[in-house]
Amino acid sequence: MNKKLLAVMMIVSVIFTVSLILVILQMKAPDKRIAEVLQDGTVLYTIDLNSAENQTIRIDAKSGSYNIITIENGEIYISDAGCPDHICMKTGILKSENVPIVCLPNKLVIRFR
Amino acid sequence: MKLRRLTELSLLTSVALIIFIIEQRFPDIAPIPGVKLGLANIVTVYAVYRYHPGESAMMVTARLLLGAFFSNNVSALIYSAAGAYLCLIGMLGVRHIIPEKYLWLCSVIGAMLHNTGQIAAAVVMMHTTAVISYFPVLMVSGTIAGSFTGICTQFLVKHIDRTR
């Protein structure tokens, strides 16, 4: 085994290990309760989940697609979307400070502030 | 380009395209954009090891465009293109360092770079750095998926070389 190959292997395994540790660290529950909704990099809504009433918010994208955000019992999630993949809906309730709800087609992000 | 070469590349492109479209019908493994097996990468890694860089690039380009049109998801083309080209460039770069015995490692690097490219495209497109928090998850999933597709390619290379 030559030195270059060994170096490549080392780099790959270091990236893998560091990422694995980061993933584990990301799993901890957040202490923040203020969520913000961003579209195309600008903040549309800032919602205090402790005091927010149950409601649904419809956000239209420039492309004509949409996302329906539901706030229910202090939890926030996307309940409906016009995009083809529905990944934002499958992400479910916003739980982690480090893992936001993202809708790539509609350029929408929901995260804790 | 020799006719035989052209035919082989077209065949590879259509195989990659079929794999790509079938994989889209699979249920999502995780609710995170970008976490997937990337089975079409098997064909790309094969092309990187058995064809010229230019030929591999042509194949990837054809697969990207046709894949976007057939899956009716042209808006995602910018993400898949950023991923696919970064992946291809990286794999062509390490191809001469990594012998065929460790071919799976090349596939792992490709998968990691593919996800890196997609995140970079998402940061640019969405004007927010929030998506970077997906990076570690995508690196881990990329390593696992890349190892799997890499091992598949290793079997494939052996088998095809024998039958040719």
Regarding whether A60 and A21 lie in a shared domain, the answer is no
Name the residue range of residue A54's domain.
31-112
Mean pLDDT throughout B11-31? 86
Regarding whether A25 and A36 lie in a shared domain, the answer is no
CA A31 – CA B70 distance, rounded (Å): 44
pLDDT tens, residue by residue, B59-69 = 999 999 999 98
Regarding whether A35 and A12 lie in a shared domain, the answer is no
> In chain A, what's the furthest Cα-to-Cα distance?
63
β partners of residue A80: A68
Regarding whether A92 and A40 lie in a shared domain, the answer is yes
Residues of B in contact with A87 (CB under 8 A): 28, 31-33
Regarding whether A46 and A61 lie in a shared domain, the answer is yes
Residue A29: its pLDDT value, please?
66
Amino acid at residue number B126:
M
- DSSP H/E element including B20: helix B3-25
Residue A30: its pLDDT value, please?
65
Instruction: Give the residue from A67, A78, A85, A89 showing the smallest Cα distance to B25.
Output: A85
DSSP code of residue A60: E
B136–A41 CB contact, under 8 Å: no
End-to-end alpha carbon distance in chain B: 19
CA A31 – CA A52 distance, rounded (Å): 17
Regarding whether A73 and A21 lie in a shared domain, the answer is no
Residue A24: its pLDDT value, please?
85
- DSSP H/E element including B117: helix B103-126
Residues of chain B whose beta carbon is less than 8 angstroms from a beta carbon of chain A are: 28, 31-33, 72-73, 75-76, 79, 94, 97-99, 102, 105, 108-109, 112, 122, 125-128, 130-131, 133-137, 139-140, 143
Residue B6: its pLDDT value, please?
92
Give me the domains of chain B, ranges plus CATH numbers: 3-27+37-163 (1.10.1760)
Amino acid at residue number B57:
A
Chain B residue with minimal CA distance to A97?
Answer: B133
- Closest CB from A16, A41, A42 relative to B143: A16
Residues of A in contact with B127 (CB under 8 A): 40-42, 107
Tokens 């490709």 belong to B110
Site from B28, B108, B139, B144 to mutate, A interface, most A CB atoms within 10 angstroms: B139
- DSSP H/E element including A17: helix A3-26
Residue B70: its pLDDT value, please?
87
Return per-residue pLDDT of chain A as tens, 113 residues: 688 888 888 999 999 999 998 888 877 766 778 888 988 888 888 888 888 888 888 988 888 888 899 988 888 999 888 887 788 888 888 887 778 888 888 888 898 87
**Sheet containing A108-112, strands listed edge to edge, beginning at the edge strand earlier in sequence:** A42-48, A34-39, A108-112, A101-103
